[in-house]
A and B are shown apart, each in its own frame.
Chain A
Amino acid sequence: MAHPYQCILASNAGSLDEFNWTLIGASGPKLVVQSCSGARSTWPKEKEEIAENGQGDEPNGPPGKRLKLSPPEEKAPNFSTMVMSNDSQYLVAITGEDKCIRVFQIDSDCQLQQLSQRCMPRRPSAITLTSDDSTILVADKFGDVYALPLLPSPGEERNAIPTAEPSEAVTEKKFTPAASVLTVHSGRNRKVLEEQMKQAASLPPKPKETMKFKHDLLLGHVSMLTDVIYTTVESPVEGGKPRGYILTSDRDEHIRLSRGPPQAHIIEGFCHGHEQFVSRLCLTKSGLLVSGGGDTDLFVWDWLNSRFLETLSIRDPVFDFLKTNKFESNLPDDKAHFNIAVSGIWNLPNKDSEFDEILVACEGIPALFHFKVTGGKAASSLSHVIAVNANALGVAFIQPRESALQMIVSVDNVHKPASTTELRDEEHASRLQYFSYSQAGGWSSQAGYHKQESDSEVGMEGARKGGDEKAARDILYNVEVLRKRPGAED
């Protein structure tokens, strides 16, 4: 059984005059690229993998040595999130296990060339690019947002000055304890001090992991970051430059609005209102912010003024969908005890609609929810509930021709619909589903373009044999776990 596509994206649907599209899916540690011309490629290539391991220095070197360089039991890291540059030339993807940001060039013949691989000190949880594609903004699980150039200039690596914490320079010198005998101590501090003394006597301090590439610490929350958005707004001052903003969301219910670089240290406001973790942010066509997470509702904001506009219930339609479609095994009788976790919010690139329209996915739910959003100007409403064959994981839109809109949904072919734990029995369930949209008729299911499914892919067989099952599940389902559990330590 092939690994599901944990994330998919497509190049800008119908950019001005061309209707070329490229679809990229991440399947475990692999990337699969498909274009409208029918070209298709995967990364890494089988051949490339071997070449990489050999490092190219000694193509005829003893094979034993190569093995040492890359022990076969080491597993390739899985992709956790990715974003395409606005000009569709580059793909920036995060691999989770090794905390790396990888930048790929997308060639005209659909091949991916990895240009750089930069490992962060903490696992990145979300990425975005500035509007001019020059800078990657990466948000991590520790709460910090860093800015990295998309393409590091060749001279940069050596001159890079890490944004060192002032103390790092100090501690890399000879160890001196931070406290003195005159310092007031609690018993614990005294123990730490003793330990430090002992350690200093026995081993030299470990060399600190430093990032040997240009990176700037822009801002930080004391909470795990879940999403980051960069956007620009026209200056309210006549003749002023457009203003850049960074929006960040965290596990502690916060949505923060900061200025863009170089003034990212200035917080402009917060969108207060969530009572559970916030997991996804989405800017609509007209510039409204929609946020979702562990709450029963989605929130709609006039984010520039930190103003709450309206809520849209997401729990109720999800609950009703499960009830109507007889996915009742894990469903509590009472709606109030039913938790949902929003795993995706997408802005519908629908030029014909005068309203903002969004699609919402929730973790472990085999459906997508299509809302019309007005920001309180008129009645916002749930327009469509789109049932899919399995739990929805990701969504990408393409525009194959004038005023045609199609949607590709990646679905979980491994677990049973409406369950994140029970494995399904069919061996060859499809991993992608296709829909086309019309203003009048809504969504209708389509036959696919993808000629995949049969070819060799990284299998989930390993996962089936237990052990890895949980790890595999964590790649697909990592939102509901953000919920705080009652009775945490006091």
Chain B
Amino acid sequence: MAGEGKNKNKREEYKQSLKEGDAALPQKKFYRQRAHANPFSDHALTYPKSPTDMNWATHYPAYALSKKEEAGDEAQGSGAQNPKAITQPVEIADIGCGFGGLLFALAPNFPDKLIIGMEIRTSVTEYVQEKIRALRTQAASTTTNQPTYQNIACLRANTMKFLPNFFARGQLSKIFLCFPDPHFKQRKHKARIVSYTLNSEYAYVLRPGGIVYTITDVEDLHNWMVGHFEKHPSFERVGEEEQEEDVCVGVMRMETEEGKKVTRNGGVKYVACFRRLEDPPWP
């Protein structure tokens, strides 16, 4: 189609016009992408072989071990610190971060924690990365007490397949699953981001006491997620009182892109949080 080609060209032109030092926020219209991705297909993904192979330093340059140390390490060879490493581990993951609304809202709430947004759609990931770059540039040129956005990053990943490639056992304290694809069709239910079997992987990367946050405007999906987490012995549902006191719940309701859309439509938002329990002793 002629129109599509034109759009593609415009996107290319726009993306090439972006420069490293640019402080202007990216325009969302050049990054739109269909809302669904097949989590089972072999996307041309890049992912680390294991959590220790992950190059976090490129995502959080402000937290990278210094260049000098790096050079020293290379000279010393193995046994020294990994040059791809950062000074502290990523602790919060927003899985299916979309255009990053939650990520940008969480950044000032957890200034001393590293937060990662993970998204399967290429263009949407690029948008979030551009926006982070722009916000970091803006923050660098002001002296006011603004968030630096050095503690957030976004990468493209199929977390349903490769979550354990990014995070070690018990590394995370919070996982957000906000407005996931509802996969209405019965035979597509295995493609849902929450299932009894996938919950084992969330339990693996979460430390005991860590929380999974879920929100959706689809009641059926909400019931599905609650059912599958409550069935899983590694999780218990967080009580309503505690849930409403959690600052993250408020942010999740009001700051995600989908959350705003639902508010505009006058829809209902269903929230459920689940705490990771200690593993029981061996039988």
B186 at the A interface (CB under 8 A)? yes
Q: Which B64-82 residues have C-beta < 8 A from chain A?
A: none
Whether the pair B189, A167 counts as a contact (CB closer than 8 A) is yes
Whether the pair B267, A184 counts as a contact (CB closer than 8 A) is yes
B12 at the A interface (CB under 8 A)? no
Q: Mark B37-50, 1 if CB is under 8 A from A, else 0.
A: 01111111000011
The answer to whether A222 and B266 touch (CB under 8 A), given A166-B224, A178-B184, A265-B234, is: no
The answer to whether A252 and B203 touch (CB under 8 A), given A189-B184, A490-B122, is: no
Whether the pair B182, A178 counts as a contact (CB closer than 8 A) is yes
Whether the pair A489, B41 counts as a contact (CB closer than 8 A) is yes
Pick the residue among A182, A221, A273, A486 that contacts B50 (CB under 8 A): A273
Q: Mark A180-199, 1 if CB is under 8 A from B, else 0.
A: 10111010110011001000
Q: Tell me which residues across on chain A come within 8 A of B53, comparing CB atoms.
A: 272
A473 at the B interface (CB under 8 A)? no
Q: Tell me which residues across on chain B come within 8 A of A177, comparing CB atoms.
A: 184
Q: Which A207-262 residues have C-beta < 8 A from chain B?
A: 217, 219-223, 235, 237, 240-241, 243, 252-254, 256, 258-259, 262
B258 at the A interface (CB under 8 A)? yes
A144 at the B interface (CB under 8 A)? yes
B217 at the A interface (CB under 8 A)? yes
A485 at the B interface (CB under 8 A)? yes
Pick the residue among A144, A188, A254 that contacts B35 (CB under 8 A): A188
A321 at the B interface (CB under 8 A)? no
Pick the residue among A144, A256, A266 that contacts B279 (CB under 8 A): A266
Q: Tell me which residues across on chain A come within 8 A of B186, comparing CB atoms.
A: 167, 171
Q: How far apart are the CA atoms of A192 and B185 in the complex, in Å?
A: 8
In the complex, which residue of chain B has the Cβ closest to the Cβ of A242? B282
Q: How far apart are the CA atoms of A269 and B223 in the complex, in Å?
A: 30
A263 at the B interface (CB under 8 A)? yes
Whether the pair A220, B198 counts as a contact (CB closer than 8 A) is yes
Whether the pair B203, A165 counts as a contact (CB closer than 8 A) is no
Whether the pair B201, A179 counts as a contact (CB closer than 8 A) is no
Q: How far apart are the CA atoms of A266 and B199 in the complex, in Å?
A: 10
Counting contact residues on chain A (CB < 8 A from B), the size range is 35 or more
Counting contact residues on chain B (CB < 8 A from A), the size range is 35 or more
Pick the residue among B122, B161, B169, B262 that contacts A184 (CB under 8 A): B262
Whether the pair A265, B200 counts as a contact (CB closer than 8 A) is yes
Q: Which A282-298 residues have C-beta < 8 A from chain B?
A: none
B196 at the A interface (CB under 8 A)? yes
A223 → B minimal CB distance (Å) = 6
Whether the pair B198, A178 counts as a contact (CB closer than 8 A) is no
Q: Tell me which residues across on chain A come within 8 A of B36, comparing CB atoms.
A: 186, 188
Q: How far apart are the CA atoms of A107 and B164 in the complex, in Å?
A: 46
Q: Tell me which residues across on chain A come within 8 A of B221, comparing CB atoms.
A: 178
Whether the pair A179, B184 counts as a contact (CB closer than 8 A) is yes
Whether the pair B34, A142 counts as a contact (CB closer than 8 A) is no
Q: Tell me which residues across on chain B come within 8 A of A165, comparing CB atoms.
A: 189, 195-196, 224, 228
A487 at the B interface (CB under 8 A)? yes
Q: 5 A–B contact pairs at CB < 8 A?
A: A167-B224, A177-B184, A258-B200, A273-B50, A484-B42
16 new A-B contacts, CB < 8 A, other than A220-B197, A267-B203, A485-B42, are: A165-B195, A166-B228, A167-B224, A182-B217, A183-B267, A184-B258, A188-B34, A189-B182, A220-B198, A222-B198, A252-B161, A266-B203, A272-B51, A272-B164, A484-B42, A488-B44
